[in-house]
Homo-oligomer: A and B are copies of this chain.
Amino acid sequence: MPITPYVALDLQQLEKNVRGMTGKLTQQDIEHWPHIKTHKSVELAKFEIACGAKGITCATLQEATVMAEGGIDHILLAYPMIGEQKCKQFIELAKKIRLKTIIDSLQGAEQLSVAAKQENQIIEVYIAVDYGAHREGIQLDDLEPFALAIQKLPNLKIIGVFTYAGTIYQYRTEPEIRKAAKAEAELLLSCQKRLEKLGIEAPRTSGGSTLSSFYADELKGITESRAGNFIFGDMNAIYGGIYTPEDCALTIRTTVVSIPIEGYATVDAGTKTLTSDQSAEPGFGYIVEDPNIKLVKLNEEHGYLRYDPKKIKLNIGDVLNIIPNHSCVIPNLTNKIYALNNNEIDHIIIPDARY
């Protein structure tokens, strides 16, 4: 085994998670377009496609470029391309594979249109609508004028409506999440109808987080989901009530390196391994061996454990497994993910698209 800290990935659980999510979506006639920002690995993206995904979703042009170089030929870049330089690079990539993206500003759309025209490419775009987080997307009232303005731009082809309903992560019970998932699908479908009334055919409706896609029956009617996190699971999925610790495929292996006082121990995983991302409950991760040991604080290479020394005995050198708060940030921090087969290292997975 490598020296700690390192990222361990259970291959059996990984496959279960991927097949589980693909199955749920396929059953509802929803295409699976997994977001690969979670793992950034060509190997894992190809595995998701082999398990039934129709294409993949990327968060950055660099991710899409690396995935295309790795042989993946159908990508949704779920990020607005802004600036001449980025638009040009996007078009270069779009010459090589089927590449779609989102638009939510006239400025961005114009830049993309100019770059597309220059290279004689037709670019398929989704209109992004703001679900309420005000992170991106046009306001609902602006849908018709925006769509009509976009329609006039050369070399862009509106193919659908897109939203990101990240607000769903505030909910922790099935009824709340189901309600939010349903509302997400309804928003997309109502926007699609409004575009149809304008004579704009927008056959595709793109939504879906890991939480909403877990209740895929509520998303029925949309064409595709971009769930990403489900592949590994983490405390966000556990607090959302859709995963148990046993469902989580990715853990961080770490060693107890110091016990300055009984009840206070330090492990060699800190923010440079786990990040300082928080979740619904205090703490920076879940100790698989004993959840009564709390990971209360992190420095860069130090994780601070607190436990009741009357009930729990820790020793210098003990190796512990941590389920992270947010698994989508973990592969971005390492060159190597150790893929385990029955707890033995099977091979190393590279997060190829890490910056």
Residues of A within 8 A of B (CB): 3-4, 37, 59-61, 79-80, 82-83, 85-86, 89, 104-105, 107-108, 111, 130, 134-139, 166, 255-261, 264, 266, 268, 271-272, 275-278, 299-302, 304, 315-317, 328-329, 332-335, 355
Contact = CB atoms under 8 A, between A and B. Distances in A.
Interface of A is mostly: loop
Contact of A335 (B277, B299, B301, B355): B355
Nearest to A38: B300
A37 B86 contact: no
Contacts of A329: 271-272, 300
Residue among A130, A166, A257 having the largest count of chain B Cβ atoms under 10 Å = A257
A335 B355 CA distance: 6
Given A79-B301, A83-B255, 7 more contacts: A80-B257, A82-B268, A135-B302, A136-B258, A136-B260, A332-B333, A335-B355
A317 B82 contact: yes
The count of identical subunits is 2
Contacts of A332: 272, 333
A82 B255 contact: yes
A302 B355 contact: no
Contacts of A264: 134
A135 B275 contact: no
A37 B301 contact: yes
A272 B137 CA distance: 21
A23 B78 CA distance: 49
Contact of A275 (B3, B105, B107, B276): B276
